[in-house]
Structures are given as C-alpha cells and as structure tokens.
Amino acid sequence: MVDEAIPAQAIDAERACIGAMLISLHAARRIRIHLDPGDFYGGANRKIFDAMCTLMDDEPRDAPDIIVIIERLRAQGDLGEVGGPLYLTRCQESVTTTDHAEYYAKLVRRASLDRQINKQLHKTNADKSPENVRALGDLIFALQGVGGLRMLDFQTDIVQAVEQIIAEKSDLIHTGFFEVDALLGGLEPGDVLVVGGRTGVGKTAFMTRMALNTAMHGEQSVYMTTEMRDTSIVQRILPQATGIPAIRYRQKRLTSREKELVRGVAKNDMSRLPLKIFGRSRLSIREISSATISAQARIIYIDYLQRCTLPRAESRAYQIEEFMVQLKSFGVDTGTRIVLGVQLDRGMDREPNRPPQLSDLRGSGAIEHEADAVILLWEPPAEVLAKRPGYIPPTAGHVTAELRLAKNRNGLAKVAAYLALNKELVKFCEHTQIAREEASFV
C-alpha cells in the first residue's frame, strides 16, 4: 500500500487527460466515463477538469475548446491559480493523439483509488467499525475493477453509442503492401498482428518494411528490437532506402559517392519519418508500454516474442500466455496496433516442403488465441512453386515469399498472398505476377 507521506499520483497522466479532452470531444466523453474531479491530485488539474465537465453539461455537443475553458476559468477567478493560458497550452501540446486517452484516465483513477485506500486504511485501523471495513473493501474492489466493470446499458447508453459509431471516421492503419491490405483490410485500434516465420525467412525484413510503410503514411511508429542494436536496424533499413546492397554496409565498403548518397537520403527523406527504434536485449510489458506511451505511437513492432521478458509462471506455455494476455490488454486499453514477430517451431526445418501452420507457433496456443490475425511467412521450394497454377518465377535477384493468412478475426482467412524478396537489398516488394489464391491449410 502507498505511504501516506508520499501520496500516489499520476500528474503527467492528468495533464495528458486534459490535453486529450481539449483536442477531441470523443476523447473528452471517454475520459469523463472514468474520472471525477476528485480523482485529480493536482489542484490546477482538478479545477480545469471540473470546468470542462461543467462546460460539457451546459453544451453537450461542443468540445471543451481551450479558448472557452480559458474564459470560463477567468470568469471564475481561477485562471491565474491554474497557471494561466500557458499551462493549458502545454497540456494540449503534451499529447499528439487521443488514442491513449482511456489509458491515461485509468492511470489517474488508479492513483486516486490508491490515495483513497491509504486514507481509509488508516481510518479503519483506528476504528474497525463495519462501515469503515465495508468502505475499505469497496475501494479495493473498485481498484481491482478499474477498466473492467464498465457496461453499456441499452436503456441509457445505446442512442449515444450508435451516434458515436456513426460519427467516427475510419481509423484503420494499412501495412503498405497491397496484397496484405486486401486480405486484412487494415489494422484497427487494439489489433494484434502476429508475423511468424523460421530464422532467415525474412520476418525482420518484412516488419521493417511495414514500419517504413506506416511511417511514410504519417503514422507514429515504433520498432522494438530484441536481437539488434538500434543502429543495426538502421543498417537493415538503409539498403531498402538507398538501393545499395546490404553486404556493402556490413563489410563497410561504401564508396565516397555511395556515402554521399546515404547522407542525402538520411537528411532529406529518412529524417522526416515519424519512426522511432527502441533496442533492448530483453523487452518486458512495462518497457513496451512505456516506450509506446512516450513515443505517442499508433502502431508498434516487436521483434520478437521469444526474446521478450516473460512474466513468472509455472511453465513456458503459461509465461507466454500471460504475456500475450497483457500485451493484448495493453493494445485494447491504448488503441495501439501491435505487430509481433514470432519464431516458428524448428520441426519445420525437417520438412522443407511443408507450409507452416498455426500449430507451428512456438511456445503456446495463446499466441494464436490472443492474435487478431496471424501471417505465416514461408519461402516455398522451387518444386512446390512450380506446381502452382499460373506461377511465373520472379525477376533475377528475387525469391518468392508466401504469406499465409492463417487467422483473421475480421475477415477472410486461410488464403495466401505472394511477395518478392530482393535478397541483395533484403527488401520485400509486391509480386504482381502471382495472383492471390486459395491455400490449403491442413
């Protein structure tokens, strides 16, 4: 339990809640479901939130605009006490997206309940009356249920819920691969896309290409690597961006002209991308969530599961299950799209002509259960491809990679698409010579 001398608080999350509310009426409504003014530890934040709630009661269809809030606080004589217009502006600038609004609200609510529990605990220790014991139990129950007890009541909530659905714009993020997007339809907030494959089949190349694609479309993206340094990932990306073979970077044999080309691409193109790389030898859920929130990311890439720090459990399968549950819950709470690399079982190496299946996901069935979609990467042998109707070999320097959509919670599954992998550049591109076809998933 938190010491009363150092009250639990989430000041940064409080500011983020205010900032999100100033940006979006939809976010303001979501945050208000979870919080009351008394949940705010900071006095200035409490007054601002209270003014916002009053404004929303008076004008339920209008967002709590910063100018209107400033005028309301000025009229109440509170503007100077909350830090003036500058403080409100800083709150608004502290968030770049409202995707994480409910997550911030839950952080504030948990800190508030911690403070209330600590206060009630001291009160109950002094007076163990049934009323005090019951009040302590209610607060502990509320803390355990933060984020998990909200219900949509058709009698009171359905009209507003339908209006919200109708008013919302599409918030899909596309992978940038035409065939993949045709199969998936895009990634929704909270989606977990698992990319499975054996070592050397191109998981990292596929995921880094997708990260570049989403960043080039303006989506704040974070690539988290567990087996490389951040600069090593940059070195994997450079051949795709410059057209200079990957081997020349590894051997440090760039010519003067090539070095100038690389510098120009980095300065003029890559430096504009909203892409961050987070390198850590072992990634925990806490580090993943911290990096995501810190970067205000809308989509994250984790490369890969088997090198992450897993929660304590009695077996490896249960460790992976708990990790997947926590990861999926984090994605749902924050609206983050998650692309997770996963190793496939080594048994596939003994059967090179057998396409991968969901049962090949190494470690636990929970990987499949918690994922919204699963793509299994495979490089079919030439003799297997030769039997495919209408197959045309890729151009020189490329190999055909098969993407088997083994699970798709939101649409068509058990189909295959094809990409061409440029071995020199370690770069995936569309393979337009092969049409999408039904795949055999035994």
The answer for residues whose C-beta is within 8 angstroms of residue 112's C-beta and 6 or more apart is 8, 35, 38, 39, 40, 41
pLDDT digits (tens, 9 = 90+) for 120-139: 888 988 888 888 888 887 78
Q: 152 and 52: one domain?
A: yes
Task: Give the domain range for residue 230.
Answer: 178-438
Grade residue 145 by pLDDT with cuts at 50, 70 and 90: low
pLDDT score recorded for residue 4: 47
**pLDDT tens by residue, 281-297:** 889 988 898 888 888 89
Residue 6 lies in a domain: no
Q: Are 220 and 308 in a shared domain?
A: yes
- The answer on 335 and 258 residing in a single domain is yes
Query: At residue 415, what are phi and psi to the nearest 5 degrees?
Result: -130, 165
pLDDT at 153: 78
pLDDT value of residue 73: 93
Q: 282 and 159 in one domain? A: no
Confidence check: pLDDT of 62 > 80: no
Do both 67 and 32 map to the same domain? yes
Separation in Å, CA 435 to CA 58, 185, 388, 417? 57, 17, 10, 8
- Tokens coding 277: 């790389």
Domain contains 294:
yes
Average pLDDT (181-196) is 92
Is residue 3's pLDDT more than 60?
no
Residue 89 sits in a domain whose CATH number is 1.10.860.10
- 205 and 156 both lie in a single domain: no
Query: For residue 361, how many other CB atoms are within 10 A of its CB?
Result: 24
Residue 4 falls inside a structural domain: no
Mark whether 155 and 286 lie in a shared domain.
Answer: no
Is 393 part of any domain? yes
How far is 4 from 122, CA to CA, in rounded Å?
9
Shared-domain flag, residues 265 and 378: yes
- Residue where a domain stops, chosen among 118, 140, 166: 166
The pLDDT of 17-21, averaged and rounded, is 93
Shared-domain flag, residues 102 and 159: yes
Cα 104 versus chain centre, distance:
15
Cis status, amide bond into 223, omega within 30 of 0: no
Side chain identity at 105, as an amino acid letter?
Answer: A
* Domain annotation covers residue 173: no
The mean pLDDT of 356-360, rounded to a whole number, is 89
Rg over alpha carbons for the chain, rounded to the nearest Å, is 25
Tokens linked to 267: 């300065």
Whether residue 289 sits in one domain with residue 146? no
Which CATH number characterizes residue 407's domain?
3.40.50.300
Q: Could you tell me if 52 and 69 are in contact, meaning their C-beta atoms sit under 8 angstroms apart?
A: yes
| Cβ neighbour number for residue 268 with a 10 Å cutoff | 9
Question: Domain end: 131, 166, 201, which one?
Answer: 166
8 Å CB contact between 296 and 334: no
DSSP characters for 355-367? PP-GGGBSS-THH
pLDDT at 435 over 60: no
| Mean pLDDT, the chain, integer | 86
Model confidence band, residue 353 (pLDDT cutoffs 50, 70, 90): confident
Please report whether residue 382 resides in a domain.
Answer: yes
In this prediction, what percent of the chain has a pLDDT beyond 70? Answer: 93
Joined together, the tokens standing for residue 421 give 């992998």
234 in the same domain as 130: no
Give the integer Cα–Cα distance in Å for 30 and 165: 13
* Helix intervals (H) in 127-220: 130-144, 154-167, 178-184, 203-216
Q: Is the peptide bond before 304 cis (omega within 30 degrees of 0)?
A: yes
Whether residues 118 and 160 share a domain: the answer is: yes
- End of a domain among 133, 166, 199? 166
Q: Helices 25-34 and 43-58 sit at what angle, rounded to 10 degrees?
A: 120
Q: Is residue 293 part of a domain?
A: yes
Cα–Cα distance for residue pair 92/144, rounded to 1 Å: 30
Q: How many domains does the chain have?
A: 2
Tell me the C-alpha distance between 162 and 185, whole Å: 23
Q: Assess if residue 3 is contained within a domain.
A: no
Pull the structure tokens for residue 261: 């080309």
Average pLDDT over residues 350-378: 87
